[in-house]
Amino acid sequence: MNFQWLKSYMPRSLFGRSLLMILFPVVVLQLVVSFVFIQRHYAQVTTQMASSVALELKYAADLVEEMDSVEEARAVLFSLERPFNIKLELALGETVSPETRFYFYDVSGRALIASLRDDIERTIAIDLTKANRAVEVKLQTSRGVLYAEVPRVRVSATNPHQLLIWMLLTAIILTVISALFLRNQVRPIRRLAEASEAFGKGQAVPFHPSGATEVRRAGTSFLAMRARLERQIEQRTQMLSSVSHDLRTPLTRLKLSLELMEEGEEIRLMQQDVEDMEQMLEVFLSFARGDSLEESKVVNPQDLINKVVMDCQRSGRTVQFDFDNKTLKPCEISLHSGAVSRAIANLLSNALLYGEQVTLSATLSENRLKIIVEDDGPGIPKSERENALNPFVRLDEARNQDNSGGVGLGLAIVADVARSHGGTVKLSDSVKLGGLKATLTIPR
C-alpha cells in the first residue's frame, strides 16, 4: 500500500513530528476508552436502571387490570406516584401504537428502549424527546392506556459526559506538558542548526552544547570541526601572507632595477610584464585568501553598492544603478563588506570590459539581498556558464580575448564570496540589454 500521499500532511519539523507521535496514541486511547465506556459500562448501567423501572410499571399495569372499577384503579395509581416517583395516568378507551421517539445523539436511548421492551410484556410506546427531560411510556391495558412519565435520571446514568470531559482535560494537560518538554529538547538541535548555517555563511556565532547526551555529542563534534576549520583557514592565511611577502620582495627589486636602467622598448615591455605579474599575484592571493580575515558586520547595502559603482565610474564609464528596499525595516544586512564589494566590483569590471552599456540593480527583501548586473556584450553560451564560475577559466569563444588581460578568476571570486555567505551566483541572458545577466543572491 502506497502512503506517499500522507507526506504532504505530515509536519516538517522535528517538534511537530514528535508532538504528533504523542498526540496520535492519546487520541486513539481516548476514542477506544470512550467507545468501551459508552457501549459497555454506560449501556449496562442504563439497562439495570431501566429494568427496575420496568418492574414498577408492570406492577402498576397489573394493579389496573385487577381493580374492580376505574375509580379504584386511578386511586391505586395515585398512591403509587410518590413511592415510585412516577407520574401515572389512565386514559380510558385508547389504544397504544408501538412507536419510539428519540434523538440520534441520545447515547443511552437505544439501550433504554431495548430494555423496556424486553422487560414489559405489553404493547408500549416510548418517547424520549420531552423537553422536561422525562421519559413518557404508554402501556396498553384492558381498561385503556396507562400513561407513565418517568424522570430521566431514574432510567439512565446522569452526567455520563463528566468522565469524558475529565479524560479530555487530562489529555490536554499532558499534551501541553509534553509539548513544553519537547520544545526544550528540540531547542538545542535548533541552535546547533543555526550555528552550522551561520558558520557556512562565514559567521562564527556563539554556541554552547546543551540538551540530551546525543545532542551534546553532536554539538561538541561541531565545535571541534569548526575549530579545526578555523585553524586551517588561519594557517592558510598566514602561509599566503608569507608567500605574498616573499614574492613581492623579488618583484620589487626587479622593478627598481628596471627603473635604474636606461629607457627603451625592451625595458618598457619588461616593466609591463612585472606589473602584470604583480596584478596576477594580487588576484591569486585575493582568491585564495577569500574573506577569511574579515569579520561579518551590519552595513547599509545601498551605501556599499553605491561606493563600488562610484569607484567604477572614476574610469570614465557610466553604470546605471537602481536600489529597491522592499522591507519596512531599516536598510541593513550582516555580511563581509570587503568581500561583497570585491565581488560586485568584479561583476562590474567584467561587464564594463565586454559591454558598452551596464546596469546594476539591487533589491533588499525580508530574507535576501539580490544584486543583478547586466551588459550589452556578447554574453556567455548556456553550455559554458557553469564552467565560467570555476577558477582559472577564460571563455575566449564567448568573450573577446584581445580585450581581456585577466587570469580567469573574476567570476570564480564572485562565486566564492556567494558561497561563503550561503548565497548563489546565476548567469543568464539579459532580456533588457541582450548581453550577460549575472545575479548575486545573498541570504539575510
Q: Tell me which DSSP letter residue 102 carries.
A: -
Q: What is the model's pLDDT at position 403? A: 43
- List, in order of start, the domains of the chain with CATH numbers: 4-158 (no CATH), 207-286 (1.10.287.130), 294-443 (3.30.565.10)
Predicted confidence (pLDDT) per residue in 298-352, tens digit: 889 899 999 888 888 877 778 888 888 877 677 888 888 888 888 898 899 888 8
Contacts 24+ apart (CB under 8 A), 101-107: 101/126, 101/127, 101/128, 101/129, 102/126, 102/128, 102/129, 103/128, 103/129, 107/38, 107/42, 107/160
Where residue 441 falls among pLDDT bands split at 50, 70, 90?
very high
Residue 162 Cα distances to 95, 112, 240, angstroms? 40, 20, 77
- pLDDT-based confidence at residue 28 (cuts at 50, 70, 90): confident
Check pLDDT > 80 for residue 295.
no
Once rounded to an integer, what is the mean pLDDT over residues 38-58?
Answer: 84
Length of the chain: 444
**Grid cell listed for 72:** 379504584
What pLDDT does 402 receive?
A: 40
Select the more confidently predicted residue: 296 or 370: 370
How far apart CA 444 and CA 439 sit, in angstroms, is 16
Percent of the chain with pLDDT over 90: 16
Per the rule left: phi > 0, alpha: psi between -120 and 50, beta: everything else, 236 is alpha
Burial class (CB in 10 A: 0-12, 13-18, 19+), 127: middle
For residue 417, is pLDDT > 80?
A: yes
Q: What pLDDT, on a 0 to 100 scale, did the predictor assign at position 416? A: 84
The whole-number average pLDDT for the span 294-298 is 76
Q: d(Cα 385, Cα 298) in Å, to the nearest integer?
A: 32
Provide mean pLDDT across the span 283-298: 66
Residue with more model confidence, 405 or 323:
323
Beta bridge partners of 333: 299
What integer pLDDT is reported at residue 400 of this predicted model?
41
Whether the pLDDT of residue 293 is over 60: the answer is no
pLDDT at 292: 54
- 81 vs 202, more confident: 81
Task: Judge whether residue 261 has pLDDT over 50.
Answer: yes
Query: Taking all residues of the chain, what is their mean pLDDT, rounded to a whole number?
Result: 82
pLDDT surpasses 60 at 79 = yes
How many angstroms separate the CA atoms of 94 and 104, rounded? 29
pLDDT attached to residue 127 = 92
First vs last C-alpha separation in the chain: 43
Give the whole-angstrom CA distance, residue 280 versus residue 185: 52
Per residue in 96-128, pLDDT (tens digit) is 888 999 888 777 788 888 889 888 888 889 999
pLDDT at 141 over 60: yes
* Predicted local distance difference test score (pLDDT) of residue 362: 92
Confidence at residue 89, expressed as pLDDT on a 0 to 100 scale: 92
pLDDT at 336: 83
379 or 372, which is more confident? 372
